[in-house]
Amino acid sequence: MGGVFQDSPSLDSLFFPQPLPSAAKSCHHAGMTYSDDDLRLDEMEFENITIDQHGPIAVLTVNRPKALNALNGTTLSELAMAADLIANDPEVGALIVTGAGDKAFVAGADISELAGLEGPFAGRDMSLLGQDAMTQLSNLPIPVIAAIGGYALGGGLELALCCDIRIASPRARMGLPEVTLGLLPGFAGTQRLPRLIGAGRALDLMLTARQIGAEEALSMGLVNYVADDPLQKAREVAEQIVKNGPLAISLVKEAVRRGLATDLEAGMEIEADLFGLAFATSDFKEGTKAFLEKRPAEFKGE
Find the distance separating the first CA and the last CA of the chain, reported in whole Å: 27
Does residue 4 sit within a domain?
A: no
Q: Is 198 helix (H, G, I), strand (E, B) or coil?
A: coil
Q: Report in angstroms the alpha-carbon separations of 258 from 88, 188, 221.
A: 21, 17, 21
* In a shared domain, residues 42 and 106: yes
Give the residue-averaged pLDDT of 195-206.
Answer: 98
* In a shared domain, residues 153 and 274: no
Domain of 269, CATH number, reads 1.10.12.10
Q: How confident is the model at residue 22 (pLDDT cuts 50, 70, 90)?
A: very low
Last residue of a domain, one of 242, 269, 284: 242
- Give the structural domain span for 273: 246-292
Does residue 6 sit within a domain?
A: no
Does residue 198 sit within a domain?
A: yes
pTM of the model: 0.86
Q: Report in angstroms the alpha-carbon separations of 7 from 2, 177, 213, 258, 270.
A: 11, 47, 49, 19, 15
Q: How far apart are CA 172 and CA 217, in angstroms?
A: 10
Q: How confident is the model at residue 40 (pLDDT cuts 50, 70, 90)?
A: low
Q: Report in angstroms the alpha-carbon separations of 294 from 278, 288, 289, 299.
A: 21, 10, 8, 15
263 φ, ψ to 5°?
A: -90, 175
Give the residue-averaged pLDDT of 155-168.
Answer: 99
Q: In this predicted structure, what is the pLDDT of residue 32? A: 45
Tally of CB atoms within 10 A around 247: 24
Q: How confident is the model at residue 3 (pLDDT cuts 50, 70, 90)?
A: very low
Query: What is the residue-averaged pLDDT of the chain?
Result: 88
| Residue of 43, 45, 91, 158 with catalytic role | 158
pLDDT tens-digit readout, 206-218: 999 999 999 999 9
Q: How far apart are CA 302 and CA 286, in angstroms?
A: 10
| Residue of 45, 113, 118, 178 with catalytic role | 178
Least confident residue range of 26-40, 188-202, 242-256, 279-293? 26-40
* In a shared domain, residues 50 and 189: yes
Q: In this predicted structure, what is the pLDDT of residue 42? A: 64
* In a shared domain, residues 273 and 233: no
Last residue of a domain, one of 205, 220, 242: 242
Is the distance from CB of 13 to CB of 25 less than 8 angstroms?
Answer: no
Does residue 297 sit within a domain?
A: no
Does residue 234 sit within a domain?
A: yes
* In a shared domain, residues 149 and 269: no
Q: How far apart are CA 63 and CA 119, in angstroms?
A: 29
Q: How far apart are CA 103 and CA 187, in angstroms?
A: 22
* In a shared domain, residues 209 and 193: yes
| Higher-pLDDT residue of 187, 42 | 187
Q: How far apart are CA 124 and CA 7, in angstroms?
A: 38
Last residue of a domain, one of 242, 267, 282: 242
* In a shared domain, residues 45 and 171: yes
* In a shared domain, residues 231 and 270: no
Does residue 38 sit within a domain?
A: yes
Task: Give the number of domains in the chain.
Answer: 2
Q: Is 158 a catalytic residue?
A: yes
pLDDT tens-digit readout, 81-110: 999 999 999 999 999 999 999 999 999 988
* In a shared domain, residues 54 and 112: yes
Q: How far apart are CA 110 and CA 121, in angstroms?
A: 18
Does residue 89 sit within a domain?
A: yes
* In a shared domain, residues 140 and 219: yes
Q: How far apart are CA 46 and CA 49, in angstroms?
A: 6
Region of 30 please: left (phi>0), alpha (psi -120 to 50) or beta: left
Does residue 218 sit within a domain?
A: yes
* In a shared domain, residues 217 and 91: yes
* In a shared domain, residues 22 and 49: yes
